[in-house]
Chains A and B, each alone.
Chain A
Amino acid sequence: MTASMNASRWSGLRNASVLIAALLVLWQVLYWWVGDVALASPLATFRYTERLVTGETFGMHAYDTLRAFTIAFTLSVVIGLAVGFWLGFAKLAGDVLEPMVVAVYAIPKLTLYPILLLAFGLGLSAKVAFGVLHGVIPIILFTLTAVRNTKPILIKTGKVHKLSPGQTVRWILFPAAVPEIFTGLRVGFSLTLIGSLLAEMFASQRGLGYLLMTGIGLHNVELIMSVTLLIIVFAAGVSTLLLHIDHRLHRRT
């Protein structure tokens, strides 16, 4: 059992390494094809990133982005779980409101951005609001589904063991729902990040999104690629970690 688990872990690692290597090669080839005007080579980008990250202002920008993102994600989780549980348990409310939540998922939310700006003004509130708008939806939907899909047999089991409703939720229902809820949190994480970054690109004088726009405006290719790389590495890295946890949780069931 352990041998095959290790084998699959190594092959997973090998696949990821092959993929990353292939992407780097692709990047380098594109650079040769397109030239300095559009791209920076991987090596140049890495060097620039090192300079950027150790520079003076970077800490401030990173802090700003992280601050907005953390607040947005916390809000998304709290609101998302609360609404998700409510809609999951309350049948009528769930039936009525769920399609509306799904509809919001499909809307190009960037078009709502001006409304948010008008409502919240420039700055932190708008960033947080946009992040929450993106991230709360999947959390609501996944939590709702998790609650709805509770197998009746679990509730019967609680009764057979003479558990109170509260105990049933704590010891049986909630652990059963955790894998599904966690998937929602994982997706919510990614989307909240995207939302707050997008907001930063327009409504801010600080943060990584702002740096990106600066790079575009000044046509500073290395800056553009560097910030993009940082964002991608952060997003992909955390996402992979969360995926790993997600798989472990789902394997239990």
Chain B
Amino acid sequence: MRRATIYRLLVVAAAIGLLEVLCLTGVIDKITMQAPHLIVRDLFRMLVSGRLNGAIMKTLTNTLLALGLALSVGIVVGAILHRYRALRDTLDPLFATYYAVPIFAFYPFFLVVFGLGDLPQILIAFMLGVVAVIVNTLNGLDRVPTVLLKTARIMRLSSMDTALRMTLPAAAPYILTGIKLAVAYAFIGVIGSEFIMSRGGIGYEISFAYTSFDNATMYPLIVLILLASITINAGLSRWEERLLARRGLR
């Protein structure tokens, strides 16, 4: 597997190198994009100057709020639905078609009801992520082997003990999949909403930079977001892999 990582780095390096060449030779003109090394330089300058720290903090805070909301509501709802089969069966068509619907279409509605503050974005991001958490929590709870629950009864574990020491660890890898998705969706929801219509945050800055022909700000910001989401997602995937590998599920 190590060989694949090396190749991957080579592919990325080659792609960036290609972009560099295309930009420097003018095949890609300056109005469309500046050379990668310039983007990196601009990114450093931007971070050091602290000019956009406010926007970064805003986006980060809203993402974390949306994530926290999606996780707490999602896991609790998932646990409840797992218990009440009839309710779960009724909501099943909703979950199945949920991600086919452009959730962003609700953004105007939220804007009108909640005004131009941060709440619409957080709600959109929450709505995007919560169903992924619910569905994966249900999946994880489904997959707890019955024999483990029987063992808990033989050992006369209390309900709380059974839930915390048997059910939760058994379902953990699958719930983690839901968490991973919720993180990605929280990010997408907040930044996407900022992009469409907002007065702050990184998404807004990118949109503003675009309309102002300010490539020197726009590209570094895009790169920043790409790096952040890739790193976080990769980290969570590694954790998920470890959990699954230790249990022999990979």
Can you list, as one digit per residue, whether each of B33-71 has a CB less than 8 Å from chain A (1) or not (0)? 100000000000000000000000000000000000000
| B72-113 residues at the A interface, CB under 8 angstroms | 89-94, 96-97, 99-102, 104-106, 108-109, 111-113
A224 within 8 A of B: yes
Contact: B196 with A103, CB < 8 Å?
no
Report the separation of the CA atoms of residues A2 and B32 in the bound assembly, to the nearest whole angstrom: 62
Selected from B7, B108, B222, B234, the residue in CB contact (under 8 A) with A111 is: B222
A194 within 8 A of B: yes
Supposing A108-B229, A111-B195 touch, asked if A232 and B109 sit within 8 A by C-beta, the answer is no
Contact: B33 with A235, CB < 8 Å?
no
Which residues of B sit under 8 angstroms from A187, Cβ to Cβ?
A: 99
Can you list, as one digit per residue, whether each of A107-118 has a CB less than 8 Å from chain B (1) or not (0)? 111111111011
Report the separation of the CA atoms of residues A31 and B197 in the bound assembly, to the nearest whole angstrom: 24
Q: Which of B108, B203, B206 has the most CB of A within 10 A?
A: B108
B16 within 8 A of A: no
Contact: A111 with B226, CB < 8 Å?
yes
A100 within 8 A of B: yes
Supposing A92-B7, A99-B8, A212-B108 touch, asked if A240 and B92 sit within 8 A by C-beta, the answer is no
* One of B138-146, B151-159, B161-169, B186-194 at the interface: B186-194
Contact: A114 with B234, CB < 8 Å?
no
Can you list, as one digit per residue, whether each of A77-108 has a CB less than 8 Å from chain B (1) or not (0)? 00000000000000010011101101101111
Report the separation of the CA atoms of residues A39 and B230 in the bound assembly, to the nearest whole angstrom: 38
Contact: B187 with A108, CB < 8 Å?
yes
Report the separation of the CA atoms of residues A59 and B249 in the bound assembly, to the nearest whole angstrom: 52
Which residues of A sit under 8 angstroms from B96, Cβ to Cβ?
A: 239-240, 243
Selected from B11, B90, B101, B197, the residue in CB contact (under 8 A) with A19 is: B90
What is the minimal beta-carbon distance from A61 to any residue of chain B, in angstroms?
Answer: 15
Which residues of A sit under 8 angstroms from B8, Cβ to Cβ?
A: 96-97, 99-100
Closest to B104 in A: A198
Q: How large is the interface on A (under 10, 10 to 19, 20 to 34, 35 or more residues)?
A: 35 or more
Q: How large is the interface on B (under 10, 10 to 19, 20 to 34, 35 or more residues)?
A: 35 or more
Report the separation of the CA atoms of residues A155 and B191 in the bound assembly, to the nearest whole angstrom: 47
What is the minimal beta-carbon distance from B100 to any residue of chain A, in angstroms?
Answer: 4
Closest to B195 in A: A110
A44 within 8 A of B: no
Contact: B226 with A118, CB < 8 Å?
no
Selected from A38, A109, A110, A243, the residue in CB contact (under 8 A) with B203 is: A110
A154 within 8 A of B: no
Report the separation of the CA atoms of residues A114 and B208 in the bound assembly, to the nearest whole angstrom: 11
7 contacts between A and B (CB under 8 A): A97-B11, A108-B187, A110-B203, A111-B206, A193-B100, A228-B106, A231-B105
Q: Which residues of B contact A (CB under 8 A)?
A: 1, 3-4, 7-8, 11-12, 31-33, 89-94, 96-97, 99-102, 104-106, 108-109, 111-113, 184, 187-188, 191-192, 195-197, 203, 206-207, 209-210, 218, 221-222, 225-226, 229-230, 233-234, 237
12 further A-B contacts with Cβ under 8 Å, apart from A15-B92, A107-B230, A118-B31, are A15-B90, A102-B237, A103-B230, A103-B233, A107-B225, A108-B187, A108-B225, A111-B203, A114-B222, A190-B100, A225-B109, A243-B96
